[in-house]
Structure formats: structure tokens, C-alpha cells
Structure 1
Amino acid sequence: MSKNKKYDFLNIDETSDPVISFVSGDINESEIHVDPKDLQDDLPILALRNTVIFPGTSQPIAVARTKSLRLIRSLNKKKGRYVGLICQKDAETEDPALEDLHSVGVIGEILRVIEFPGEESITVIFQGKDRFDVKEATQVKPYLRARFSIRDTIPAPINDKEYNLLLESIFDLSMQILRMYGEPPKELVQRLNSIVKSPLLVNFCCTNLPVSGAEKQELLNIDNERDRAYRLVMILNREVQMMEMKMNIQMKTREELNQQQKEYFLQQQIKTIQDELGGNPQQADIDAFRIRAHQKKWSENIAETVEKEISKLERLHPQSPDYSTQFSYIQTVLDLPWNECTRDNFNLKNAQRTLDRDHFGLEKVKERIIEHLAVLKLKGDLKSPIICLYGPPGVGKTSLGKSIAEALNRKYVRVSFGGLHDESEIRGHRRTYIGAMPGRIIQNIQKAGSSNPVFVLDEIDKIGNDFRGDPSSALLEVLDPEQNFAFHDNYLNIDYDLSKVLFIATANNISTISQPLLDRMELIDVNGYIIEEKIEIARRHLIPKQLENHGLKADAIDIPKKTIEKIIEDYTRESGVRALDKKLAQLMRKVALKVATKAEYSKTLEVSDLQDYLGAPIFTKDAYQGNEYAGVVTGLAWTAVGGEILFIETSLSKGKGGKLTLTGKLGDVMKESAMLAMEYIRSHNEYIGIPYEVLENWNVHIHVPEGAIPKDGPSAGITMVTSLASAFTQRKVRANLAMTGEMTLRGKVLPVGGIREKILAAKRAGIKEIILSKDNKKDIDEIKELYLKGLKFHFVSDIKEVLDIALLKEKVKDPLDLSIEDTKN
């Protein structure tokens, strides 16, 4: 250290300790002021960066700028102990002029100068004295000097309680800040305790505040000691709050960091243990995924997408919630059979044998499948068609899918759409949802394990829609051969090719299916069976199946054809064979009981034994009721369980106005048909032979029996006209005759549907002749001769032809007296 005698204005021993604390240099309040005799007219000005010294406090200042070093070294012993200390407005200014400094400063008395060898800067310890205002500069070089005036301070009133409380608050806040940094030094605590009731506490805390120089300068500018104390309390409160917030943030981040470090070390330990046991299972799964992905037959775009997903999984922590979601997604993608197809069997004869073996009848469907196989055999590739089998329940629509799959040597999957409301069941859920999964289409393709299965969409007519979406609209993409080569599932988010899938939809009633969906499917009508077909189905399929299901041998019971026919006629009423299957199961249970108890029974089931096995007959055969009554005509109707015959009955009663009454739970369309028929009778009364006065003086009542059963449709139009004509003329209707057809107001006969079912119903009832529209002749031509045996058809185009065929000239034995004279009475 250089000799202190260089600075001859200091009375300090060379052996004195140069290390001086921030809190050293105790001073009384009276010693703050400087004797004017010790001051010159102007003061050397030392510019400070971000440092403000307050009266009564000591502060070490590092002096390094050239001007400042010249100032310190030029001071003399007599009047050179005092320097004007002023903070710069901008700390970045390197050579500040007087206008670059604040206007208020503090006279600093130099207590000690410390200079270390080899260092360009020196440290000067100043003690603050009076505040002063700068007037004007008197010297600029080699350092700055300026005139000044002492700035008065307004002291707080003696024994001011409020001011004393302010000092206590400042002390408490200062101690709180010190404790936040750790245990404060004892010397510092002692210093604060010594000045706790002195205005010096305010200046001391202002000097050592951890705030900007601008705020310290603001405190220095305040003349009133009480106002300065108030402002200091506000700043201290703010700093305490800021420090508390910082400490809370640090605590949180430290805890999070500690938890992460803990987890990291634990994971490293687990990894080490796993390596010792044979490797990391997570990495093993990822490696297995990459091997499987490499073996898949997919496009480069899909391969790139899957690789990105696997890499994403690799970056995830195994304990992360997203890990299991990503793992399941990749597993689903890899489990799908991308372009993996089974080889079709192009042996057409074998396919025909398979279809004939499993299903009796259904010629149209079998023919369509064989045609499809023939085209595949010739072309080698074909977009699979969408086939829709529609017809009454129990005719084998669903089970036909299994036979088709076996005939084609394809995998078989089935989805029931009955009651389906949610669109996501078709398209799947997005992966962002909890419990997300692919739609039913992708799920079943995955289950099938091939891209070309036979896919049965069961009960497609029973799809519903609500606020969750319209599943039938989502099916449009699935069932369109022009679109389903790029089916988009929300869960996969990758296009999947469904064009090789043979979709077979089943429905009972196509009227409930949306038109756009119908347009995308090839409709095949699966009609009901006649009695002869049901007998063969029972003998070939149902009875052997029920024997096996009930643990019975083939010779346990023999059911002749006559017995099967009786079961069909008296215990079932359906187009299919589902109820017949249930009745055979009921019968087999009785047989199983006899076999299990070793009871005696006849192994040949006769018709007379049916009541013991199945109870009393449930249904009576729809039989023709004869033509002994005028106004009763047999009509043909279609129902969901097949064809039925119904009777249209017309009764007349005397009354003015010719009132028309309709009963039998008729629908709106059927009521309109009755009104049309009545209007036709009125407008053609002369041709039919009905006096107009009779129409005006007799009320008409039309009834359709079995009034609890709803009936609707236009096909009873010609039947009602015939019934009305027969009632008014009292002419008999041709025996064993039935009819069906819609009529117009002009008397034209229009075609109707369900012809095959209606013909079967007519044969069951013993009908011999049927009247149909000429336009229905094409439907008759498509029906096998077996079904038409014993029937005679009359094809008509006008109501007059119907009446000429149906009404005989012979009248009933006891005709109504419809004479005009009698009605006038």
C-alpha cells in the first residue's frame, strides 16, 4: 500500500487497518453540519454513478475516472477534506458536466483513502454531512468545481408520536429485509439499535436501500424529515413484498427442481437395474414397434407418419399421461392389416355348393355373389359392391354373410347398428379425448386381420340420430365405392382403404333409410318362404341344429313333413323361420326331458301329438270364408312378417244423405281409398246398375276385421270398390277370388308391392284366382313356378274389368230390399 502521507490532509496512522465497515464511523446529529469556516466559496464536485450518500452515513466510493483521481489527489490538508458528492442523472455518461448531475447533493468528508499497488482505482471512504444546492460551475478542468448553498432540513417535532412510530416501522422493515438474506451481522444490528429513535436511522436506511439511484435521489430531495420517513416506509414495504414474492417463486422452482432431480436419479437407478436384468422394457417396446412398422405393406407417407409417432413416443416419459395414449395409438395402427388380404377362392362350383348347403332358396342373392366371383376371377381386381339385403325378420339375411365369407374364403365380421346414435361410433374419437378409440369399422377390420373381409352391417335401417350426430351420414363415405378407398377415421387420422371390403347391409324396412345411403347400395329383396320351403329348411337345418343344441342323438325323434307343416300353420305366423326355430327348440326340450328321465315316448312325432308338446294351436289358418254374403271381398295385404289376407265388409242401412262410416283402425291412406271407392260408385252408378236414389237414401259402413290391428296403404282400393258394388247390387262375388291394387278417381288400376308375400298368403288361405294390375305382371314373371302352382291370375287396367270379373250375376239368397219405392216411404 502507498504511504498515506501523500494525502497530507488525513491525520491517519500508516499502520491503521484500511478495512472499514459500512456502518463504521458513528456520528452524532450535531456533527452532521459543517463549520462554514472550513469551506471555501466553491466545492470540488465528485460525480457518482447510481450512488447517493445521506447526511450522517459513511460510504466507501471507488474512484477510477481521471477527473475524479485528479480531484482526490489535489486536495490539501486545511480545507481539502470536503467534497461535493452528487449522483449523475445518467449512469452511462462518462464525463459528466454540471447539467448532467442532479441539483441536490451531500457534502462528503473524506475519512480515509485506500490505494492498492498495481490498481488504477482508489477507494475513498466518505462521511455525509450537510445537503447543498448546486449554483454554478466555477471550474471545469482539471476537475469540476461549483458554487453552492447549504440546503435547510425541516426536523420532526420533538416527542412526535407519529414520527417515532414511523422510525419503529422503518427499523422493523429493515430487520425483516436483512433476515430474508440470512442472519444479519451483530455489528449491523447493534448499529441499527443505537439509532432506532434518531433521524439518522432514516438516512442510514436510505443510503443502504437496494433501490435505484433515482429513488434515493428522490428521498434526498425531501426537506421534511417526517415526509422522508413516510416515503421510506412505502419503499421498504414494497421491497419486502417484492422479496417475499421472489422467495416464494424460488421455493416453488426449487421444490420442482428437487422433485425432477429426485425423479431423474430414480429413473437412472431403475435404468441401471433394468440393464442388469436384461434391458429397458420401454425401449424394447419401441424397438419392437419399429420392427413391425418396417414389415408393414403401407405407402411411404404412412410409414413416415408412423415413424414420427414412434419417435414422439420415444421422447415421452413412461410415467407421463400421454405415454399410454401414444402407446395405444401406435399399437392400433400396427395391428391394422394394411394391404394384407386373404386370397379369394374362385371355384364357382364350390361357392355355389357352399351357398346351397347353408341356405335354402334365396336364389337372387346367390346369383349375385356368383356373378361377383366370376368378375373377380376374370378381372383380378374389383371394387367390392355394397349389397343391401332387405326383407322380413328371420329369413336368413344375417346368417347369409357367413356363407358368403366361406364361399369367398374371406374373413367374416359383423356389426349391429340397431339403436346406434353417436357418429363417433362410425368415425371414431379424436385422440385428445379421454378413452378415445377407433370407430366400429376400423375396430372390426383390425379384428378380422385382413383388408378384404365380408363385413355385415346388420340392422342398418334402425340407425338413429340426435345431438351427437347422424351415423347414417357418416356411413356415406364407408359405403361409397368411389370414396371408401380413403376412409378417414378420426382416431387414426390416416386414410384407410376399405375398397376391398365386401359390405353386406341388412334391413327390414328400407323406407327408414336415407335416400343418399340407399343410392350407394345395391338392393336385393329377400322374400319370405312358402310352406314347402320352410319344411325343407326345418328338415335340413333347424331340426339337426336343435338336436345338437339339446344333446340329443339324430334318432331321438323323427318329425314327418306333415307334422312340420302343422307346426308352421298352427304355431307360427311369419315370413321367416325364427319362430319355427323357437317352437322346434321347445319341442326338443320336451324330448330331452323324456330321454333324461328314461320315460317311454314315441320316436315319431305325429300331428296328434303336437298339443302334448307345444300346447293348443296359437294361430288359425287364414281361410277363405265363402261368398254367401254380399259386400264381403277378400283382399291381400303385406306385413312385416309376410303376406296376409283381409276381408273388406260393406253394410248398408237406411238413412238420408248416404253417410260413409269407416272402422277397423284404418290409416289415412286407406281411408282415402275408401272415399275414392265411394266416389267412383257414385259417378258410375248407371254402369254398375245402382239407381242414384238408392245412393242417397242408404248409409254405407265399411269395416276391415281385426280392428285392433293397424292397417294402411293404397292396395285395398279395388277391393273396396268391389265390396261397395256387391253391397249395392247384392250380387255375389266370385268364389275363391282375392285381389290387390290401387285405384285412381278415373278408375285406373295401379300396381302395388309385396306381390310374392301376398301370393303366399293367398295360397295358404286356399285362394284360386287373383286380380292384379297389368303392371304387376313383371313381378309374377320373376316368381318361381313352384309358388304360382294352382293359381289363376287376372291382369286388369280398369275398375270396370275388376267388377266384370269379380261380380256374378247371381244374387244372394236373401237380398236387401233396395227398391226406390220402399226408400221413399
Structure 2
Amino acid sequence: MSEDNNNVIPLLPLRGLLVYPSMVMHLDVGRDKSVQAIEKAMVNDNRILLSAQKEVNVDDPSLDDIYTIGTIAYIKQMLKLPNGTIRVLVEGEQRARIVQYAQEEDMFEVEYEQVEEVHDNPNQEEALMRSLLEQFEQYIKVSKKISDETLASVKDIDVPGRLADIVTSHLSLKIKDKQEVLEISNVAQRLQHIIEIIGNEKEVLQLEKKIGQRVKTSMERTQKEYYLREQMKAIQKELGEKDGKTGEIAELKEKIEQAQMPEKVEQTALKELDRYEKVPQSSGESSVIRNYIEWLVSIPWHEETDDNLDVPHAEEILNEDHYGLDKVKERILEYLAVQQLTQSIKGPILCLVGPPGVGKTSLVRSIARSLNREYVRSSLGGVRDEAEIRGHRRTYIGAMPGRIIQGMKRAGTVNPVFLLDEIDKMASDFRGDPSSAMLEVLDPEQNSSFSDHYIEENYDLSNVMFVATANNMQTIPGPLLDRMEVISIAGYTELEKLHIAKEHLLPKQIKENGLNKNQLQVREEALYKLIRRYTREAGVRNMERQLAALCRKAAKIIVSEGKKKVVVTDKKLEEMLGAPLFRYGQAEAEDQIGTATGLAYTSAGGDTLSIEVSLYPGKGKLTLTGKLGDVMKESAQAAFSYIRSRAEELKIDPDFHQNLDIHIHVPEGATPKDGPSAGITMATALVSALSGRPVRKEVGMTGEITLRGRVLPIGGLKEKSLSAHRAGLTTIIMPAENEKDLEDIPDSVKEGLTFIPVRHLDEVLDRALVEEK
């Protein structure tokens, strides 16, 4: 068909738009075919056919993608924009139907025919017009999206078909629905169809309004809170407070739920959290409440480790970590055996008492490892404030829980092995008595509901295995000592020290000083000499220091002299460590007159004590020197009085107290000494000096004396026996009532010592003094 045919017109496909007759609208055209169609129309008579696409997303529509009925429009203005698109102002004139396509390659051109409006009954159309205007007015009131000016302009339209088209153009309808209105040529039917559409739209809008009102009523409070919180977040963000309290509170609430606290404690935590939410963040109370909640959720309330109750396994670990200490190991294994049989036992309260360096603290760590429990340590040395144990009340600034609760937090379980180190070194002052606060902690009948001043909620300590350590049992208050099972660790024999050095300490120091076992070899006689001549202690701490010094010397020799191996012999030891620090043994080389060897118990274990008596002309004055305590001075006075009362039987001049002054001295005068157990030693030294009979050099003695010469029992026999063995003594005179303590003494010590139990001083003198010739 030729292009000069009057029924051929360029076609412009519209995406998402539809133009009715009598409508004026701006269109932006950018597709090549559409631009050419516009230009072709401008060349001819400015008329173009506007028809909508069925699918908006199609960029290059085919014939089937375009509706067949559209609107012939007049192009009133055309403007080319800088981005290449064309903006045209069009006015719809007449409905038209596409008969066939004349061209579709460079642009769309179609042959069309006009669609005339059909008017059946003018009166019916008038009635429908009035009904449409009424419905449209109600629709505007419900939707509130169309202005009153639009309603006024629509009311001025008196052409039925045009009214229908204009009203439809103002409705929010899909293109499909608008196309349906465009295709109705009968005016009455078109008006009726639009009235039905507006009726449906009104019902939908009213339903939406009801639903919205119902939702608004039910969610008004929540929505209000939400908006307020959002505003608070915005304010906090402006102030630089990241997330504000909202995130914190949610996080804390989650922690409280996960902590699985007892119900009462959880209620307290949630109540405090509610307070925290209401208190301003700038308030000082805010941080106090938060810290309290943090402590509540960080303390273990239910987490526990499964005990390893395998007795052989525990014994293997204890022997692996420590040599000797059989009594302690036996007690731990007994505890495991009983727990395995009963499956329910309250944690024992053990107290390991012994001098420094014997391995009390490391033994507790091994106990925890053998039980498969967590290990936590709290040092009580120097603690003098009760709040250190029970915690501070939250009314104080900087308040914190006590050491018990802090230790439980570190452990993370409800059944750790809890070491209370240096329990004998707690003090007391005006701030309270911490040892009294420990009574509740260490009482199995009470500690299931331990109360900390800071936490203010009962905490169960009954599953905790408490182990205390002390150097001196005498300084532990009686009620506190009564709650604990005391296990004494006296110290090590030379043989035990040799094993510890060879199997534990020397390999450890060789490794720590960058050596290996092939580079340093220490002979056994060198180790014996190091133990005897370079250390004097109950434990092994100084021995470890000397071994460390030996390893450092060896490392220097290997590096500086290029040697591959250092062998330490008896003689080499003196070259490396210098002259010996101590004289081996305290036994006298010969029998001495007026000198007796006593055995003492100190905080560092057992020790030998040489007591010397000197006589010179005078009037019976008794002088005591050597920094002696009151009890020791009284023992000397008792011995002096006994000897005066028995002078003739002891073959001593009865008037010695009128002719002689007596001076009793205990060497190492800078060291304080006290205790009753030197009584028989002082009496023996006095009798020896006054009678001229020497004291046997191999004899050591211990025992308290009465005015009638009776020998009373003493403590620390095991420690004293170890010191006698270390000093080279072979005979120990002891109270007969201490015979029961002999079973605690190691067999290796018993083999080199002869124990003589005595009940009276006469027996002591018979065994200690050399017989008269």
C-alpha cells in the first residue's frame, strides 16, 4: 500500500501508558523506531497512532505485542533533549483500529480505520453520567489521592464518552483494564463498566481502611515504642553512642537466659536489667548495675567437668609429677575410691602443711590434673580485709566480689580444685577478720549456700575441692584448722632429693637453659655434694636454683670454649659453683663437754640446734643468749631448777649455784628460737658442764622437761628426724609418747638412725653422756 494513502499513519507503541481521546499528555520517546515515527508524523500532518504494548518489559515489540485498538493523536509540540530523546506533547483525538501493518522495519506504519462511538439512548447516558459523577466523588473522598480541582473540572464535562474517558484516566488501574475501557465503543456500556470499576475500587479502599485502622489500634503502643526507640537510636548516634543501650540490653538478656541460673537468681538478674534499661546512661548507677549483671552471668551456675575417677590413672599422674609424698597421694586416692563407690561425696577440705619448697602448690595442680578438674589458685598471704573473702557491698564505689567468687569465675565450672595458698599468713585488723570469713567457705555443712556481699545470692560451693597450704600450722586459728584435714609434708630425705634432682629438676633446667642431655652430665657424687654443701632446706627450691646456675655455667663453657659436652664431677662442682656454702652435718667431730645437740622444728622444716653451756666463778647467775623466746627461757630455768634439786644424785657439787655463774648460749644468735622441745637438751648440756662428763657427738635429742624430770611429748618428730639424718647424727633421744610418730618417718631415714624413747631425764643422761671411767 502506498505511503500517500490517507489511512496510513505512523504508529508509536507506548510502554505503561495509554492515551484516551481528549487527553493531553507529554511523552518521552527514545527508541529508534519511535523517533522515526515521530519525525515521519511531523513531516506529514502531525498525526500519529498511539497504541499500548501488552508487556511493559519488551524493548523491541513485534506486531503481536501491540494492542490493535489505540488513539489517533495530534502532536502539538516536539522538543529534542540533550540526551538524544524527544519530548512531544500530544492530544488524543479519535479511537482507531489497526487494520494491517504497512511497514515494520525502520518504523511502524499502519493502515487504520476509525472507531466511531455508539449512542443508543441519550436519557440512559445522562442517568449513567450522573451516577458516574456521584460514584467518582465518593471515590475521591475515600482515596484522598485526587484533588477537588480535578473533581470540579470533571463536573464541567457534558459529553458522555469524553466524561468516561477522563474519569478512567484518573483511576489507578492496570494498562490492561484501561485498554478494556478504550475498546468499548458503546458509550452507555462504557459508562456502566466504569461505574462498576469505581464501585469495586471503593470497596477495596474501604476494606484497606478498616484493616489499617484495626492494625493501627492493635499495634499503636508497639509502633509508638518502635518510633521512640528509633528516635532514641538516632539521638544516640548523633551523640556518638554506638547502638546505645538497646544492643547492650538485648545482649545481656540473652546472656541471662543462657546462664541457666537458679530461678530466684534469674529473677533478680532480669529485675536489675529492667532497672538498667530505665536508668540514664550518664548516671553513675548505670555502670554499677551493668557490672553486677555481668558478674551474675559470668559466674558458673551449672557448668561442671566430669571427674576422672580412675584410681590407677590418678596414681600414675601423681607419681609422674612428684617423687615421695606418699601420705598425700594415699589421701587423694582414698578420696577417689570413695567417690567412685558412693557417686556422691562432699568435697574434702585438705590442708597441706610444710616448709617452703616441698611442692605443696604444684601437688595441688597435679591433683586437679588427676581428677580432670579445672585448677584455680588464690593467694591469701597478707590478706587482712574480710571483704577480700566475702566481697564488698554494692553501696561502695569500686565494689567487687570476694576472692572466692572471683576464683569461681576464672575456673568456669562449679567443681574446680580451688587452692587457698598461704592460709596461715592471713592477718586481721580494724577492717575485719578474714579467717573468720573463711569458716563458712571451708565448712562442708555451710558452703552449699555461701553468701557473697556483692552477689547477695546464695552460691553453692559444695562441689568444690578446697585445698589449703600453710608453712606453719600454729598460726592458723583453731576454728579454721578444725574444719580442715591436715596433711603434713615434712620435707625430703637426701635420697629423695637425689631422685627429684635426677628425674625432674635437672632435665627441666637443662631444657630451659637451651641444652640437651648429651651436652651436660652431672655425676651422682656431684649431686650429693650439691645437696649437702650448697643447700640447707627441707624442700628443693634452693637446689633447683643451684642446678639452674650449674646449667648456665655449662652453657657458657659450651659456647665460649667450644666444648661439645660438660661432665660435672665432685671436683668440677666447686670450680663451677664456687666454695661450698654450708658445712655438711652438724654432728661434732669429738665428744664435747657442755655442748649438746638438740633437734628443732622451724617453718623451713627440721633443723639441728647446738646448745652450749659455759661456767665461770660467780654467785649462781643464769644468763641466756641466742635470741630465745619466753618458752625456751622457761625451759632453761626448769632444767636449772631440776639439776639443783638432784645435784647429789648427779654427782654435782650441791653449792655450784653459790660459786659459779652459768651462761647458756644457742648459736645463730640472729635467728629467733622458741618452743619447749629443747628442755632435755639444755638439761643435758648443763649436767655435762657441771659434772665434766662429755656428751656423745652422735646423739641428737628433743623433748620437754618438767621440774620432776619427766620427759613430755613434742611435735614435728618427722621433720626433726630428717634434719638429724641430714646432719649425720646416728642416735635420737625422744619422748616415749612420740613412738606412734615413728611410722611417718621414711624407711631410708630409719635405717641410718637409732631411736631411743625415754620417760625421764635420768634415762636421757644415761644414754647421752659418756660413761665415767
Structure 2 residue runs without a partner (length 5+)? 1-226
Indicate the residue corresponding to 2:714 in structure 1: 752
State the shift of 1:802 in Å. 1.2
Q: Per the alignment, in what secondary structure is the counterpart of residue 352 of structure 2? A: strand
Distance, in Å, in 1 between the alignment partners of 2:280 and 2:666 is 75
Q: CA deviation at 1:443?
A: 1.3
Q: How far off its partner does 1:363 sit?
A: 1.3
Deviation at 1:623, TM superposition (A): 3.2
Q: Corresponding residue for 2:433?
A: 470
Q: CA deviation at 1:411?
A: 0.3
Amino acid at match of 2:551: M
Paired residue secondary structure (1:685):
coil
Deviation at 1:578, TM superposition (A): 0.8
1:502 correspondence with 2:468: no
Tell me whether 483-492 or 321-330 shows the greater mean CA deviation: 321-330
Q: Name 2:453's counterpart in structure 1.
A: 490
Q: Cα distance, 1:613 vs. partner?
A: 1.9
Deviations 1:228-248 (A, max 9, x none): xxxxxxxxxxxxxxxxxxxxx
Task: State which of 271, 282, 287 in structure 1 corresponds to 2:250.
Answer: 287
Q: 2:605, 2:340 → 1: CA distance?
A: 37
Amino acid at match of 2:735: S
**Correspondence for 1:353 among 312, 316, 325:** 316
Moved more, 802-811 or 436-445: 802-811
Shift in CA distance, 558/298, structure 1 to aligned 2, threshold 3 Å: same
Aligned 8 A contact 2:383 2:426 in 1 = yes
CA contact (8 A) 2:519 2:565 kept: no
| Whole-Å separation in 2 of the counterparts to 1:273 and 1:769 | 84
Kindly provide the CA deviation profile for residues 389-431 of structure 1, in whole angstroms up to 9, marking residues without a partner as x: 1110010111111101000000000011111122222122222
Residue aligned with 1:734, SS: coil
Q: 1:283, 1:268 → 2: CA distance?
A: 12
Question: CA 1:322 to 1:667, structure 2 compared with 1: closer, same or farther past 3 Å?
Answer: closer
**Take 2:695 and 2:428, find their aligned partners in 1: how far apart are those partners?**
49
Tell me the TM-score normalised to structure 2 length: 0.67
CA distance in 2, matches of 1:522, 1:392: 17
**Candidates 710, 730, 734, aligned match of 1:768:** 730
Given that residues 636 and 644 in structure 1 are in contact (C-alpha distance below 8 angstroms), is that contact kept between their aligned partners in structure 2? yes
Is the 1:770–1:791 contact (alpha carbons within 8 Å) kept by the matching residues of 2? Answer: yes
- Aligned partners of 1:326 and 1:539: how far apart in 2? 56
Of residues 675, 678, 683, the one that matches 1:721 is: 683
2:694 aligned counterpart, secondary structure: strand
2:496 is equivalent to residue 533 of structure 1 = yes
1:584 matched to 2:550? The reply is no
Instruction: Name 2:507's counterpart in structure 1.
Output: 544
1:517 aligned partner? 480
Secondary structure class of the residue paired with 1:808:
coil
Letter in 1 for 2:768: A
Does residue 779 (structure 1) correspond to residue 748 (structure 2)? The answer is: no
Report how far residue 271 of structure 1 moved. Answer: 4.1
The match for 1:310 among 273, 291, 308 is 273
What is the 5 A alignment of 1:33-52?
none
1:800 aligned to 2:762?
yes
Measured in 1, the distance between the counterparts of 2:235 and 2:669 equals 84
Which position in structure 2 is the counterpart of 1:445? 408
User: Are the aligned partners of 1:622 and 1:645 in contact in 2 as well (CA < 8 Å)?
Assistant: no
| In 2: Cα distance, 1:373 partner to 1:297 partner | 29
1:555 and 2:518 correspond: yes
1:681 aligns with 2:643: yes
Amino acid at match of 2:765: L
Mapped to 2, the partners of 1:433 and 1:568 lie a distance apart of 53
The residue aligned with 2:556 is 593
Q: Give, in whole Å, the separation in 1 of the partners of 2:258 and 2:586.
A: 68
Q: CA deviation at 1:506?
A: 0.8
| Residue identity matched to 2:249 | I
Secondary structure (helix, strand or coil) at the match of 1:716 reads helix
Distance 1:773 1:396 in 2: 30
Give the conservation status (yes or no) of the 8 Å contact 2:355–2:603.
yes
Give the share of equivalent positions with the same residue, in percent: 51
What does the per-residue CA deviation read over 1:440-481, in whole Å, with 9 as the maximum and x for residues that have no partner?
211121111101101101111111222222222221211111
CA–CA distance in structure 2, aligned partners of residues 697 and 399 of structure 1 = 59
Compute the displacement of 1:630 (Å).
2.1
Cα distance in 1 between the residues matched to 2:237 and 2:660: 101
Q: Deviations over 1:693-750 (max 9, x none)?
A: 4453333332223333332221111112222222222223334112111100011001
Residue 613 of structure 2 is aligned to residue 650 of structure 1: yes
Q: 2:304 aligns with which of 330, 338, 341?
A: 341
Q: Given that residues 415 and 457 in structure 1 are in contact (C-alpha distance below 8 angstroms), is that contact kept between their aligned partners in structure 2?
A: yes
- Contact 2:643/2:687 (CA < 8 Å) preserved in 1? yes
Contact 2:376 2:416 in 1 (8 A): yes
Report the RMSD for the aligned CA atoms in angstroms.
2.4
Partner amino acid, structure 2, of 1:757: E
Amino acid across the alignment from 2:725: K
Aligned counterpart for 1:436 among listed residues 399, 424, 428: 399
Residue identity matched to 1:432: T
Q: 1:312 to 1:695 in 2, by over 3 A?
A: closer
Residues 692 and 318 of structure 1: CA distance in aligned 2, closer, same or farther (over 3 Å)? closer
Tell me the distance in 1 between the aligned counterparts of 2:408 and 2:236: 40
Residues 340-419 of structure 1 mapped to structure 2, 5 A cutoff: 340-419=303-382
Structure 2 partner of 1:732: 694
Write the letter of the residue equivalent to 1:588: C
Please state if 1:326 is matched with 2:289: yes
Q: CA deviation at 1:594?
A: 2.8
What is the one-letter code of the residue matched to 1:609?
Answer: K
Q: Which residue of 2 aligns with 1:669?
A: 631
Deviation at 1:679, TM superposition (A): 1.2
Give the paired residue count.
545
The alignment's TM-score, normalised by the length of structure 1, stands at: 0.63
Q: Does the aligned pair in 2 maintain the 1:413–1:456 contact within 8 Å? A: yes
- 1:508-555 residue CA offsets vs partner (Å, 9 max, x unmatched): 112222222111111111111111111111111111221222222232
CA separation of 1:305 and 1:777: change in aligned 2, threshold 3 A: same
Distance 1:693 1:474, change over 3 A: closer
